[in-house]
Amino acid sequence: MSDGAYQVALRMLARRDHFRAELEGKLRQRGFVPAEVDAALARCDALRLIDDDGLASRFAEVRATENGWGPRRIEAELRRRGVDRGTAEEASRLDRARLRAALTTALRRAELRAPVGWWRLSERRARMVSSLLARGFEAADAIAAVSELAASRENDDHALDDQSGDPFGVP
């Protein structure tokens, strides 16, 4: 049996980590027969070059904190990439700190596209919630985060109203 599939798998893994199903699919797309693909994956497994659990956890961390993805979107993307349901569910469970970081990132992005004063209009607040739902957050978390941010913006707005018109404090 040829080492071709194994060598190709090693080159792919040298560039970046792959989920087992991704690697299998890419090897099959390159025309390797199932027996060659299975043998290559078995060798990679024996050398612990494939770690779906670890990769899924790192994937979830990056997508949550840097991309502002919620648990549902992370899980769906992991499943799309061929990760088994249990691993995808486990990786997509975000502790409160990671969930908060993901919500903050997502809200910052949504707020950049929102008009000034968005927090005063219920339809704009609803759009913000909708944007968080689309990013994979649960409704309760999305509503709470938008309400908290809107209250904060409203308080900031009132604080500015209390200041004199002159930014340098000259009467």
Q: Where are the domains of the chain?
A: 1-50, 96-161
Question: HSE (CB half, 13 Å, CA atoms) of 77?
Answer: 19
Give pLDDT tens digits for 63-83.
Answer: 999 999 999 999 999 999 999
158 band by pLDDT with thresholds 50, 70 and 90: low
H or E stretch including 4? helix 4-15
DSSP code, position 1: -
Task: Please state which CATH number belongs to domain 1-50.
Answer: 1.10.10.10
The pTM for the full model equals 0.82
SS (H, E, C) 70-126: CHHHHHHHHHHCCCCHHHHHHHHCCCHHHHHHHHHHHHHHHHHHCCCCHHHCHHHHH
Give pLDDT tens digits for 109-154.
Answer: 999 999 999 999 999 999 999 999 999 999 999 999 999 999 999 8
Whether residue 9 contacts residue 41, with contact meaning beta carbons closer than 8 Å, is answered with yes
Q: Which two tokens mark 95?
A: 């502790």
Which residues 6+ apart lie within 8 Å of 99 measured at CB? 64, 70, 71, 141
